[in-house]
C-alpha cells in the first residue's frame, strides 16, 4: 500500500515542513487538549456502540437528524463500508486512490473514467454507463485536483443517479476549506440515494484521531449499521467529536485563513514560469511541472526541508505533477522562494 | 447489532458495577496517562502507515519478528479482515458473536458446530468437515465459556488444519488472564496456516483504545496488508502500544490478582445451590441458572447496582445462562452476597 504522505519513510534527517499532507496548519481547536485529558478516564469502558451523543453533536453541526449520521474511523472507513455495500463502483481519475483500492479488496468491480483535460467531470460517462445499484464516488472538492463540482452540475449528476436508482457518495473531506458557495448537506436534505462524507481529519487537523462522518437518509443509515464494524471509533475520537464541532470561532477563523493563504499561494506560484498552477477550491494545489519530473523536485525540495507530494501514483497523472498543501504564511513563503530559486 | 455489554442502554440511574464487561479491574498501567498526554501532539500527523515502531514493541513483547505482526482496531478488526480473506468460516458455538457476524457481512459462508455439553470441542467435526481454504476460528479461552483448549488438543487441531491446508485463527484476547500452561505464540513459532490474536482491550483495561494485534507467518502478514484499511489504528492507540507492553510489573501483578480472584469467586459461587458455575480459565465465568431466567437475575441485580451479562444471545445458549466478569475483591464480594441473598 503506497500512499503519498509517508513522512516516516524518507531519509532526510533535518526538520521537515510537510507540504504533502493536507492538514489545517492552525492545528486543532485549543479546547481539545483538555477534553482529551478528560477522555483518558473513558478508556476502561467500551464506547457507546451506537455513539448516540457523538451523532447528536454531528447532527447539530450539520443541521440534520442524528438518525441520518453514519460514522467511520476516518472518512476512509465510510468509503470502505460503502464499497462493500455496492456491487460496482464508478470513479473519475485522478482521485483519492482508496476509491479504487477498497472496492477491489472486497472483490467488487471498479469502473474508471478519466476526468477531462481540465479535470472536469464528463457527465456523458455517467449518463451512458451508470446502472441501477452502482455506487458513484466523487470527491467534492476532488483530491488531488482541488476542484469543487459546480452546484448546477452536481444537481444534474444527482438527478441521473436518482433516476437510475444508483447511489452517489460525495466525499467532502475538505468541505470547510472551500469558498462558501453551496452546502451539499443542505442541498440534498431529506433525499435518498446519496451520502455526503466529511471528517475531522483535514479541517480540524486531526488525522491521528480517525473520525469521519456522513449524512444519508435514515433508511440507508440503518443498512449501513448492518455492515459497520462495532466500536471502530475509539474513545478519544468519540470525545473529540463532542468538542470540536462547537468551536465556531475556530471554524470561522480557519476558513478565512485558508482562503486567504490559498489565494496568496496561487497568485505567487502563478508567476513562476516553469510550473502550471491549477485553480483549487481546497487547501491544496495541484501543480504541473513543465520542465522537471516529480522526483527531481522532491529530492531538491527535501534538501531544503520541504516535502511535496509526488502525484504520479494518482491514476491518470504522470511524473510531471506534484501536489502541495496550503500551510502557514511563513512556510508558504519558504515554498514560494524555493520555487522561485529553482528552475 | 445487539451486544451484551451495552451499559449505555439501560435505564438504571445509580452507580453500576459492570460485571458484563470482561475488563481488568485494576485499570491500565499507571505510566499510560502521561504517555497519552504526550500523544496529543501526534494528532496533527497521520500515524506511520506501517506502524513500524508499534510492531517492534509488540514483537518484543511476544518474542517474534515485527514482520510477523498484524494489527487491527481491536481484535475485532483482525477477525473481520480474516473473515474477508477466506471463503468459508467454521466456528463452534457458543462463541463471540462477531465470529459469525463478520463473515456474513462479507457474504461469506459460516458453518457452525455446537460445542459438546461440557463446552469442549468435538474434533470429529473438524476432521470431517474442514476443507482446504477454510478459516477455523477458535476462542482460546473461548468466550463465553472461559475454557482454554488443552495443549495436546490444540496441537492435534493445528495438525488437521495444516494437513488440509486450511487456516486456524486463534482468538486469544484473554490470554494473559489464563493460568500459565502453554503459550501458543511459542508453540506455533515459524508455522504457517495459523494466526494468534491478542489485544490491549481486556488485559490492559483499554476497550476504548481499540488496539488488537496478531502473530502469523511473514508471508501471510503480507497478504493481510493487502486487505487491511490504512491508518485504522489511531495515534493514541499507536502511542499506547509503545508503552503498555513494557510494563512487566503491572503485567505480573494483574495475572496474579485475576488468578486469585477467579479462584475465590469460583469457590464461593460454587457453594450456591441455585446456580451451576462452569470452571473458567479466563477473567469471566459462565453460570447456569437452575431456577430463574437471565431477565429476572438481570433486573434484580441491576436494582442493587450490579450489571450481569445475559447470555442468551450467544448462539447455543438459552436464557438460563449468564456471564459475570472477575472484578476487584469488594465488587466480587458484593456479587457473591447478592447471589447468596437471592433465591
Q: What's the CATH code, domain B11-27+248-341?
A: 3.90.1150.10
Chain A contacts of B105, Cβ < 8 Å? 84, 226-227
At the topology level of CATH, where does B32-246 sit? 3.40.640
> Which candidate in B210, B325, B331 is best for mutational testing of the A interface (most A CBs within 10 A)?
B210
With bands split at pLDDT 50, 70 and 90, how would you rate the model's confidence at B11? low
Q: What are phi and psi of B270, to 5 degrees?
A: -65, -20
A232 and A73 Cβ atoms separated by less than 8 Å: yes
ipTM value, please give it.
Answer: 0.94
Distances (CA, A) of A8 to A302, B7, B44, B240: 13, 40, 14, 19
pLDDT digit string (tens) for B266-309?
A: 999 999 999 999 999 999 999 999 999 999 999 999 999 999 99
Q: Do B36 and A33 touch (CB under 8 A)?
A: no
Question: Helix crossing, B218-227 with B75-85: angle to 10°?
Answer: 90
Mean pLDDT of B16-22: 93
| Among candidates B5, B50, B229 on the partner chain, residue whose Cβ is nearest the Cβ of A76 | B229
Q: ∠ CA(A32), CA(A35), CA(A38), 5° rounding?
A: 155
The CATH class, in words, for A7-27+248-341 is: alpha beta
Residue in B1, B33, B208 closest to A46 by CB:
B208
B271 to chain A, minimum CA–CA distance in Å?
31
| A76 in contact with chain B, both atoms CB, cutoff 8 A | yes
SS3 B70: strand
Residue-range domain boundaries for chain A: 7-27+248-341, 32-246
A 300-329 residues with CB < 8 A to B = none
What is the C-alpha separation between B245 and B258, in angstroms, rounded?
18
Do you find a cis peptide bond into B141, omega within 30 degrees of 0? Answer: yes
Which three three-digit cell numbers place residue A95? 482521485
Contact call for residues B37 and B28 (beta carbons, < 8 A): no
What was the pLDDT predicted at A343? 75
Distance CA B173, CA B171 (A): 6
Does B27 lie at the interface with A, CB-CB under 8 angstroms?
Answer: yes
Record: contact A1-B234, CB cut-off 8 A: no
From the list B18, B52, B207, the residue facing A8 with the nearest CB is B52
CA geometry: angle A140, A141, A146, nearest 5 deg = 155
Q: Are A151 and A182 in contact (CB under 8 A)?
A: yes
Neighbouring residues of A134: CB distance < 8 A, sequence distance ≥ 6: A86, A87, A88, A89, A90, A164, A166, A167
With cut-offs at 50, 70 and 90, classify the pLDDT of residue B15: confident
CB contacts of A76 in chain B (<8 Å) are 229-231
pLDDT in tens, A120-158: 999 999 999 999 999 999 999 999 999 999 999 999 999
Q: Judge contact between A4 and A96, C-beta under 8 A.
A: no
- pLDDT score, position B14: 75
Return the H-helix or E-strand segment holding A249: helix A248-270
What's the pTM?
0.95
Residues of B (218-257) whose Cβ lies below 8 Å from A: 225-227, 229-232, 234-238
Average pLDDT, chain B: 95
pLDDT reported for residue A10: 62
pLDDT at A143: 97
Residue A279: DSSP 8-state: P
Distance of CA B213 to the CA centre of its chain: 12
Contact across the interface for A21 and B45, Cβ inside 8 Å: yes
Query: Minimal Cα–Cα distance from A121 to chain B, Å?
Result: 28
Q: Bin A213: left if φ > 0, else alpha if -120 < ψ < 50, else beta.
A: beta
- Determine the Cα angle at B261 with ends B259 and B265, to 5°: 120
Which regions of A94-249 does DSSP assign to beta strands (E)? 109-114, 134-139, 167-171, 194-199, 212-215
Bridge partners of residue B288, in order along the sequence: B276, B321
Nearest CA in chain B to A49: B6
Q: Would you tell me how many other CB atoms lie within 10 Å of the CB of residue B15?
A: 6
Residue B235 φ/ψ, nearest 5 degrees: -60, -35
Q: State the best of B1, B17, B44 to mutate against chain A, taking most chain A CBs within 10 Å.
A: B44
How sure is the predictor about B1, in pLDDT bands with cuts at 50, 70 and 90? Answer: very low
User: pLDDT (tens digit, 9 = 90+) per residue, A3-48?
Assistant: 655 566 666 667 899 999 999 999 999 999 999 999 999 999 999 9
- Residue B80 confidence (pLDDT) above 50: yes
Interface of A with B in 252-271 (CB under 8 A): none
Chain A residues in contact with B34 by the CB 8 A cut-off are none
Q: Between chains, do A46 and B5 touch, taking CB under 8 Å as contact?
A: yes
CB pairs under 8 A between A and B: 149
Predicted local distance difference test score (pLDDT) of residue A12: 63
Residue B2 distance to chain A (closest CA, Å): 9
Chain B positions in Cβ-Cβ contact with residue A28 (cut-off 8 Å):
43-44
> Does residue B341 carry a pLDDT above 70?
yes
Question: A79 contacts in B (CB within 8 Å)?
Answer: none
Segment 106-145 of chain A within 8 Å of chain B by CB? 106
Beta carbons of A236 and B1 less than 8 Å apart: no
Interface contact flag, A43 B237, Cβ < 8 Å? no
Mean of all residue pLDDT scores within chain A: 95
Q: What is the pLDDT of residue A4?
A: 55
Q: What percent of chain B has pLDDT over 70?
A: 96
The stretches in chain A having pLDDT less than 70 are 1-13
d(CA A86, CA A128): 19
- Chain A: give the shortest CA distance to residue B234, in Å: 5
CA A7 to chain centre: 18
| pLDDT, tens only, B119-176 | 999 999 999 999 999 999 999 999 999 999 999 999 999 999 999 999 999 999 999 9
DSSP state of A192: S
Amino acid at each position: 500500500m503506497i500512499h503519498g504522505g509517508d513522512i516516516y519513510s524518507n531519509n532526510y534527517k533535518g526538520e521537515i515542513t510537510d507540504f504533502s499532507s493536507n492538514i489545517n496548519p492552525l492545528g486543532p481547536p485549543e479546547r481539545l487538549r483538555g477534553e482529551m485529558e478528560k477522555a483518558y478516564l473513558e478508556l476502561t469502558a467500551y464506547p457507546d456502540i451506537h455513539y448516540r451523543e457523538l451523532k447528536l453533536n454531528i447532527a447539530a453541526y450539520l443541521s440534520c437528524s442524528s438518525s441520518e449520521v453514519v460514522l467511520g474511523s476516518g472518512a476512509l472507513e465510510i468509503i470502505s463500508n460503502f464499497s462493500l455495500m455496492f456491487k460496482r463502483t464508478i470513479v473519475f481519475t485522478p482521485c483519492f486512490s482508496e476509491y479504487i483500492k477498497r472496492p477491489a479488496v472486497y472483490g467488487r468491480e471498479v469502473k474508471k473514467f478519466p476526468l477531462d483535460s481540465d479535470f472536469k467531470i464528463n457527465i456523458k460517462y455517467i449518463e451512458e454507463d451508470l446502472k441501477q445499484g452502482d455506487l458513484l464516488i466523487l470527491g467534492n472538492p476532488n483530491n488531488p485536483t482541488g476542484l469543487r463540482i459546480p452546484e448546477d452540475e452536481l444537481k444534474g449528476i444527482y438527478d441521473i443517479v436518482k433516476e437510475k436508482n444508483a447511489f452517489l457518495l460525495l466525499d467532502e473531506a475538505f468541505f470547510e476549506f472551500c469558498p462558501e458557495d453551496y452546502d451539499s448537506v443542505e442541498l440534498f436534505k431529506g433525499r435518498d440515494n446519496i451520502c455526503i462524507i466529511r471528517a475531522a481529519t483535514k479541517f480540524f487537523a486531526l488525522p491521528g484521531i480517525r473520525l469521519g462522518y456522513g449524512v444519508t437518509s435514515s433508511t440507508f443509515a440503518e443498512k449501513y449499521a448492518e455492515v459497520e464494524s462495532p466500536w471502530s471509533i475509539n474513545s478519544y475520537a468519540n470525545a473529540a467529536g463532542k468538542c470540536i464541532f462547537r468551536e465556531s470561532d475556530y471554524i470561522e477563523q480557519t476558513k478565512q485563513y485558508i482562503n486567504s493563504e490559498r489565494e496568496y499561494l496561487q497568485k505567487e506560484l502563478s508567476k513562476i514560469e516553469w510550473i502550471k498552477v491549477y485553480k483549487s477550491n481546497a487547501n491544496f494545489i495541484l501543480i504541473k511541472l513543465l520542465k522537471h519530473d516529480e522526483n527531481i523536485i522532491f529530492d531538491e525540495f527535501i534538501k531544503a526541508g520541504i516535502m511535496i507530494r509526488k502525484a504520479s501514483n494518482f491514476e491518470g497523472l504522470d511524473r510531471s505533477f506534484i501536489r502541495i498543501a496550503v500551510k502557514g504564511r511563513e512556510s508558504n513563503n519558504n515554498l514560494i522562494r524555493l520555487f522561485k530559486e529553482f528552475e
